[in-house]
Amino acid sequence: MTLEDLWHQKSDRELEIAAKELDDYNEDAQQVILAEMYRRGLIETASRASVALRFPPEQSGVRYAAIGIRGVAAMIDGIILQIVGSAILIALARINEVEARALEFGIGVLIGWLYYAVLESSPYQATFGKQTVGIRVTDLHGERLSFSRATGRHFAKWLSIMSFFIGFIMAAFTKKRQALHDLLAGTVVVKQDQR
């Protein structure tokens, strides 16, 4: 399938979204997007200027969460997970210390996964830490995450950790304040009032 065929199959809405983020595409894709928009009558001329006038690059007023506020949210979430994890381990230690140690890692992974995936795919779109500091997670179009996308985002954080936390630091340098796991999952973290 050619690039032209791919964009020919896209809806008008998908083309409009692409127009707002035109700089994120390579030069060939930009030309194909412009040509397809012109063919459909979405713009009057197949030029970047006409796209910029009709579809401003940023959604009106969207404010992406900075790395500092995300770090505060992560600390709050870490404290909550530590308390919950400790309570479960204390309960497990009553059975048998050896068995409890064997279960410790698995329980930690399970609790972390459910905490992040359930809360970030909920109507709140945020963990308790993110709610506290007023930020939430969305897909690239501002929509709520599915449970599977929230799951993918959570486990992609392991790559951010294994890269000696460089994956997290990337949020300070990317255009939409995306960390490595956000880029991989197609998500952004925005201020709570952004729709």
Q: Identify the residue with better confidence: 87 or 132.
A: 132
Tokens of 6: 């791919």
Q: Confidence band (pLDDT; 50, 70, 90) for 8?
A: confident
Number of H helices, E strands in the chain: 10, 2
Rounded-to-integer distance, Cα 37 and Cα 48, Å: 11
- 96-120 confidence digits (pLDDT tens): 666 666 677 888 899 999 999 999 9
**So what's the pLDDT on residue 190?**
93
SS3 157: helix
Q: Identify the residue with better confidence: 99 or 70.
A: 70
Rounded-to-integer distance, Cα 23 and Cα 175, Å: 11
* 114 Cβ contact partners less than 8 Å away, ≥ 6 residues apart: none
Rounded-to-integer distance, Cα 16 and Cα 20, Å: 6
Phi-psi region of 145 (alpha: psi -120 to 50; beta: other; left: phi over 0): beta
- 38-64 confidence digits (pLDDT tens): 887 877 776 666 666 565 555 556 789
**So what's the pLDDT on residue 72?**
95
Q: What's the chain's average pLDDT?
A: 85
- Neighbouring CB atoms inside 10 A of 18's CB total 22
**What average pLDDT score do residues 7-35 get?**
81
Judged against a pLDDT cut of 60, whether residue 174 lies above it is answered with yes
Judged against a pLDDT cut of 50, whether residue 73 lies above it is answered with yes
Judged against a pLDDT cut of 90, whether residue 2 lies above it is answered with no
Judged against a pLDDT cut of 90, whether residue 137 lies above it is answered with yes
Q: DSSP secondary structure string, 82-132? A: HHHHHHHHHHHHTT-HHHHHHHHHHHHHHHHHHHHHHHHTSTT-S-HHHHH
Q: Confidence band (pLDDT; 50, 70, 90) for 32?
A: confident
Q: Confidence band (pLDDT; 50, 70, 90) for 29?
A: confident
